[in-house]
Amino acid sequence: MSLTEDEISRIREVIGTPEKKNVKPQGSGTHHQNTYTYFYVPADFGSDATIADDMGLGAVLRLGGYSDLEEPADAEAGHSAGVLATVQSDVYPAQHISDETSAEAHLNAPGKQTTGENGNVTKRQGILLACDGRVLLRSGEKVYVHAAEQIHIQSDQNMALVTVNGAIDNTSGDKFTVKAKKKISLRSGVASNDNYTTRGVNNSGDKGIEIIADEGNSDVYIEGKSLYLQVNGTSTADITEDNSTIMRADNFEDIWGHNTSIFRGTFLEFYFGAGFSYRAAASLNIATALDINIGLFDVGITAFDISLTGKEINLNETVFGAVSVDAKLAALKNDITTLACETDSIKASTNVLKSETRSIKSTMGNVQADLQNLVFFG
């Protein structure tokens, strides 16, 4: 559609003429003496639509104060008359309507007016850009957006923030909050052809949080003054390489359930301080291999001691200097030989004692016979 000379002349007047204040609005966006001006394109209702079919928003650009296009009363009248008219939800963001309330959304659309020290009222001039299609913005270099107050961005569907080669730096002068109705996923090392498949043990679900570093091939580092971990269910740590825990202070564990520890390799413990162990219930300790205990001092208090020992070799001796194992074994062999000899001597003495017992028994039999032959006279 080509413009007439009159329309071109009016556009030039609007662009080149400064605003005239204290002039009553004339109810048309084409009058340059108003405190606002706008360019308006009506909605497309098909090939039969004409310029008179101004009902509905196609696209609008308003400069300055709010226009008659934005006034709720005029909008309702325009709808009923079948002429140019819009409603707030067509041209204003939903958050603006919520912040300013519906009654004042159009009044504060250019910006809230301020009152100075002398009672002078300063009205702000704003920019309104709205359409029923797409807004495309492309820059060959940089794009700057600066607001002295709040910036609010809302999308009724998905939102993507992508940098092809550069980084994204989010810096907040106050708190930084991330909220989601469903899952939050934080992943690094993602390639352009991302084909990562979630592991079967990943039970984050639809509303959980997952942190994945380079598909499990890079490190995760967390540093802080203190850490409180609240787990309302089970907790599992599956570690495929070495695990180290360095505790530079006291350690406390309070286990209310069953505790099971399985060591499939060697086990080594060192205690360099005093220790205390208390068991209020029965316990069973089974060693199916060699069990060696070496103690400098052993002090024990036992109420009952029940033990069954198959073979026991007790070497209670204080050894000073280096004593060879061979010497110890030789001395032990001599002790065993001497013990065998003493056992034989005891056995011989036992046989003699047995013969003497038999002789005493014979003598006691003779004494009994004599007593039976004794007659008492009265």
Instruction: Report the candidate in 122, 97, 121, 94 with the shortest Cα–Cα distance to residue 109.
Output: 97
Dist. CA 358–CA 166, nearest whole Å: 113
Per-residue pLDDT at 233: 92
Confidence (pLDDT) at 376: 43
What's the pLDDT score for residue 344? Answer: 59
Q: Nearest to residue 289, comparing CAs of 306, 266, 307?
A: 266
Rounded to whole angstroms, the Cα distance separating 41 from 44 reads: 9
The structure's pTM equals 0.59
pLDDT at 378: 38
Question: Are 189 and 214 contacting, i.e. CB atoms less than 8 angstroms apart?
Answer: yes
Is residue 60 packed enough to be buried (19+ CB in 10 Å), middle (13-18) or exposed (0-12)? buried
Q: Are 215 and 189 in contact (CB under 8 A)?
A: yes
CA atoms within 13 A on the CB side of 364: 6
Where the chain has pLDDT below 70, the residues are 1-4, 7-34, 45-55, 72-87, 311, 313-378
- Reading the block at residue 189, the tokens are 């090392």
Angle at 53 between CA 42 and CA 55, to 5 degrees: 60
Cα separation, 189 vs 372, whole angstroms: 117
Q: From the CB of residue 331, how many other CB atoms can be counted at a distance below 10 Å?
A: 13
Instruction: Tell me the three-class secondary structure of the chain, residue by residue.
Output: CCCCHHHHHHHHHHHHCCCCCCCCCCCCCCCCCCCEEEEEEECCCCCCCCCCCCECEEEEEEEECCCHHHCHHHHHHHHHHCCCECCHHHHCCHHHHHHHCHHHCCCCCCCCCEECCCCCEECCCEEEEEECCCCCCCCCCCCCCCCCCCCCCCCCCCCCCCCCCCCCCCCCCCCCCCCCCCCEEEEECCCCCCCCCCCCCCCCCCCCEEEEEHHHCCCCCCCCCCCCCCCCCCCCCCCCCCCCCCCCCCCCCCCCCCCCCCCCCCCCCCCCCCCCCCCCCCCCCCCCCCCCCCCCCCCCCCCCCCCCCCCCCCCCCCCCCCCCHHHHHHHHHHHHHHHHHHHHHHHHHHHHHHHHHHHHHHHHHHHHHHHHHCCCCC
What is the percent of the chain with per-residue pLDDT over 70, rounded to a whole number? 66
pLDDT value at residue 131: 92
List the chain domain ranges.
1-113+122-136, 331-371
pLDDT of 350 reads 55
